[in-house]
Amino acid sequence: MRYKILFSALLLLALAGCKPESSAPPAPAAAIPQTYAVRGVVQAVSPDQRHATIKHEAIPGYMAAMTMDFSARDTNVLAGISAGDEISFTLAVTETNDWIENVQVAGKTNVFGVTGPPGWHVAEPELAVGDPLPDYEFTDEYGQLMRFSDFRGRAVAFTFFFTSCPLPDYCPRMNRNFLAARKILLAATNAPANWQLLSISFDSSFDTPEILSGYARYYRGDDTNRWRFAVASTNTLASLAPQVDLSFWREGGSISHNLRTVVLDPDGKISKQFDGNDWTPEQLAEAIAEAAQKH
């Protein structure tokens, strides 16, 4: 009996030693956000309470005072918040995302409703889907002049940014979405080939071709296929911005702006416009493929 017990124990140990180890990789650790305490005045709250436009004070060590559109992961964060509320809140920032939390109302003011810089004048009416976009001129990352008409026969998707934009959910997200949309279109066997991506900076005082070139390489690497970076002059923006409802203005040493992404068909007509940052790379790729077939 003693030998049987010993044999059984050894068998169990052998089986335990032969048990294969799990091949599943360990779960990645959640990114720990950097947090900042902020004060500001609410300009507007979206109907779904997922976004709030806030004119905020300077955030020491991170961002100058400006007016920005912030996202809320939890819609309860903005429950009961309205334009004119003076608030304090926490800004949480990771490498790829940002959001607000812990919103507290400190008072009420009538100073709100900022939609553009002092004296902002809409020189041109906003264009609609199907309208032709005038042929504007830009300077690309190589220092060469380029125009929308250079891409006639191709669908063109363009968005706006500036290289020193601090929030990952703003300009960096536009570029990440462009990168992902390009991958989708290049990988699709039935996708059209007549398309182009264009990222346009509105900070002509800083975003020189040298700056743009380095910035483009960060997102695009050395693969320049169908994606170019450029900067628009002040005169170009004065006409182009209102035509696509783009607002931007210098404030507190930086630039406040909204987000606009436009898709042109091969004839230079507006096929689709994406407002804000809630659109996905898949939606952009679909809009580009659809526009490309209109030629």
Structural domain includes residue 2: no
Chain-centre distance of CA 40, in angstroms?
Answer: 22
Structural domain includes residue 114: no
CA pair distance 171, 219, nearest whole angstrom: 12
Structural domain includes residue 131: no
CATH label of the domain that carries residue 157: 3.40.30.10
**Which residues in the chain belong to E strands, given as ranges?**
34-45, 51-56, 66-71, 85-93, 98-108, 137-140, 145-147, 155-161, 195-201, 227-231, 248-251, 254-257, 260-264, 270-275
Tell me whether strands 227-231 and 195-201 are parallel, antiparallel or unpaired. parallel
Q: Identify the three-state secondary structure at position 102.
A: strand
CA pair distance 284, 294, nearest whole angstrom: 16
- Identify the domain containing residue 160 by its residue range: 137-292
- Looking at 90, 108, 126, the residue that finishes a domain is 108
Do 145 and 104 fall into the same domain?
Answer: no
Report pLDDT for 7: 40
- Residues in the chain predicted with pLDDT less than 70, given as ranges, are 1-30, 109-124, 251-253, 295
Q: How many structural domains does the chain have? A: 2
Report pLDDT for 111: 44
pLDDT digits (tens, 9 = 90+) for 193-213: 999 999 999 998 899 999 999
Do 39 and 178 fall into the same domain?
Answer: no
CATH label of the domain that carries residue 101: 2.40.50.320
Report pLDDT for 30: 57
